Amino acid sequence: MNGSVTLRLLGKDRRIVGGPFHMWSGEGIGLCLDPENANRARATLALDLADFTAPTQVELQDTLSDLLVRMRTAPEATIYIGCKAGIGRSGTLIAALASLSGLADPVAWTRQHYMAAAVETEAQAAAVAALDSGAVWSAFRARSGTTPATVALYYYPHNASAFPHMLLRELGIPFELRLVDRKQNAQNSQDYLRLNPQGLIPILIDGDLVLSETAAIALHLVDRHPECGLAPEIGTASRAVFYKWMVHLTNTLQPEILVRAYPDRHVADPAAVLDVKATAYRRIAKMLDHIEAALGAGPYVLGAQFSAADLFLAMLTQWTQRDQGAWTSRPFLAAHRARINARPAVDAALRFEGPQTR
């Protein structure tokens, strides 16, 4: 049985054919997943998996990063992924590639577009769900010799830096985190003010570049790493919609949440603090209603395609957690937040930053 799909990887549409590996013609890139296959010795790449078994995360990351290296050097090549019948193990690797390309529900997508019976066991589906794309990109860079210089992010847990922190982990690039200890008012220290005269977190250092503004940092990072596909291609309608959401989030919801968090900065009369807070909350609620309606079943901000805008939204919904029911009463936002937080790279960032206390 054969099937084929097209997936956008490394900024290009790639044709991926799956099936029994003995049917691979020898053209393009051949990935063999069946240790007993008659064609195994001719394979470009091989991962020996017994029938009905799932790859470990390390095996999956190694194999996918090797495959990406081959795709990079042979941009026009068809990729043939095969095992004994082309259903379970091959379906798993195709679903893992779909996940890497940012598609929502990659197993369901693979069953719909490749083969209805693809991905045969729960362990195979779980391996796809647990895939850490940042780890794959990082391994890909190490293997292709394209590892970028380390960037540094000045952060404080659960501040606006949380979004670029999650993004750096999704991109899988080497980075350093530098704590700006707000408990010690370090954002107003001489050293920090030299980097950001506004005394605001975050700042990204990339070579000679010192960049403030969360949204600008994210746009810079996705542009520097187009291979990761965390923003649609420049010049397309999807890219325009991506810009719309990035700008919308940075100039509506984010500043309004800051008003609610620091109402005292917006009043001359301390007695007005509660009113400012209540008004900001009402405005936040309206903005969340708008996002809830626009997001719909999504499941992502851009629909089927995961992007950096989802990390931005996830950070902001996280910030509204103190407003009882702000997102729990909005099912699409609640599902979005759960979906994004379950991503291995996001989970690693959140665990690093620790529980949000405010």
Ligand X SMILES: N[C@@H](CCC(=O)N[C@@H](CS)C(=O)NCC(=O)O)C(=O)O
**Tokens coding 239:** 């890219």
User: Do 171 and 185 form a contact (C-beta atoms < 8 A)?
Assistant: no
Give the residue with the Cβ less far from ligand X, 46 or 308.
308
What 3 state SS string does 153-218 have?
EEECCCCCCHHHHHHHHHHCCCEEEEECCHHHCHHHCHHHHHHCCCCCCCEEEECCEEEECHHHHH
Residue from 95, 151, 195, 201 binding ligand X (CB under 6 A)? 201
Which stretch of DSSP H or E encloses residue 139?
A: helix 133-144
Span interacting with ligand X, options 59-67, 198-206, 237-245, 272-280, rule CB under 6 A: 198-206
Considering the rule CB under 6 A, would residue 200 count as an interface residue with ligand X?
Answer: yes
Q: How far is the CB of 160 from ligand X (least distance, A)?
A: 4
Q: How far is the CB of 17 from ligand X (least distance, A)?
A: 45
Task: Give, in degrees to the nearest 5, the angle at Cα 181 between 178 and 185.
Answer: 135
Residue from 44, 63, 187, 317 binding ligand X (CB under 6 A)? 187
Number of Cβ within 10 Å of residue 226's Cβ equals 13
Residue from 160, 218, 249, 309 binding ligand X (CB under 6 A)? 160
Task: Give, in degrees to the nearest 5, the angle at Cα 92 between 91 and 98.
Answer: 90
What type of residue is 354? Answer: G
Residue from 92, 214, 317, 320 binding ligand X (CB under 6 A)? 214
Terminal CA-CA length for the chain: 55
Considering the rule CB under 6 A, would residue 320 count as an interface residue with ligand X?
Answer: no
Considering the rule CB under 6 A, would residue 204 count as an interface residue with ligand X?
Answer: no
Give the residue with the Cβ less far from ligand X, 62 or 213.
213
**CA separation for the pair 5, 166 (Å, rounded):** 29
**CA separation for the pair 324, 144 (Å, rounded):** 48
Q: How far is the CB of 201 from ligand X (least distance, A)?
A: 4
Sheet holding 12-20, edge to edge: 3-9, 12-20, 79-83, 29-32, 45-46
Q: How far is the CB of 290 from ligand X (least distance, A)?
A: 20
What type of residue is 168? Answer: L
Fill in the per-residue mask, 103 to 132: x = in contact with ligand X (CB under 6 A), - = not in contact.
Answer: ------------------------------
Give the residue with the Cβ less far from ligand X, 104 or 215.
215
Q: How far is the CB of 329 from ligand X (least distance, A)?
A: 24
Q: How far is the CB of 326 from ligand X (least distance, A)?
A: 17
Considering the rule CB under 6 A, would residue 159 count as an interface residue with ligand X?
Answer: yes
Sheet holding 151-155, edge to edge: 175-179, 151-155, 203-206, 209-212
Give the residue with the Cβ less far from ligand X, 171 or 201.
201
Q: How far is the CB of 275 from ligand X (least distance, A)?
A: 21
**CA separation for the pair 174, 137 (Å, rounded):** 11
Number of Cβ within 10 Å of residue 85's Cβ equals 19
Residues whose CB is less than 8 angstroms from the CB of residue 318 and which lie 6 or more positions away in sequence, other chains included? 158, 162, 337, 356
Residue from 59, 120, 213, 323 binding ligand X (CB under 6 A)? 213
Give the residue with the Cβ less far from ligand X, 2 or 212.
212
Considering the rule CB under 6 A, would residue 258 count as an interface residue with ligand X?
Answer: yes
Considering the rule CB under 6 A, would residue 186 count as an interface residue with ligand X?
Answer: no
Residue nearest ligand X, Cβ-based: 214
Q: How far is the CB of 318 from ligand X (least distance, A)?
A: 12
**What are the residues binding ligand X (CB under 6 A)?**
159-160, 187, 199-201, 212-214, 258
